[in-house]
Amino acid sequence: MPELEEELGRLREGYCRALEKALEKVPVRNGVVSVEDLWLETAIPVDLIVELLESNGVKIPPHIERVDFRGIKRKGQK
């Protein structure tokens, strides 16, 4: 199982790097980035984007104050 955990760690790091690059490209409106724009730029599932951002695994550039999750339904929500 250590191999599986290592592979999951590598995948997670790759997704974090992809999000960091996307944060440099997506539109920033008044310091706010839409999670939908990140999804469109990366094709990473929204639930995973939210999880990675909430776990502080992604370095957010200083010109971005926050990521807007409004209107996004997460797993388990109705």
Full residue range of the structural domain in which residue 9 is found: 2-68
Q: What is the pTM of this model?
A: 0.84
Local confidence band at 10 (pLDDT 50, 70, 90 cut-offs): very high
Condensed to tens digits (0 to 9), the pLDDT of residues 11-56 reads 999 999 999 999 999 999 999 999 999 999 999 999 999 999 999 8
Q: Is residue 20 part of a domain?
A: yes
**Total of domains in the chain:** 1
Give the percent of the chain with pLDDT over 90.
73
The three state secondary structure string of the chain is CHHHHHHHHHHHHHHHHHHHHHHHHCCCECCEEEHHHHHHHHCCCHHHHHHHHHCCCCCCCCCCCEEECCCCCCCCCC
Q: Is residue 29 part of a domain?
A: yes
- pLDDT for 39: 94
Q: Is residue 12 part of a domain?
A: yes
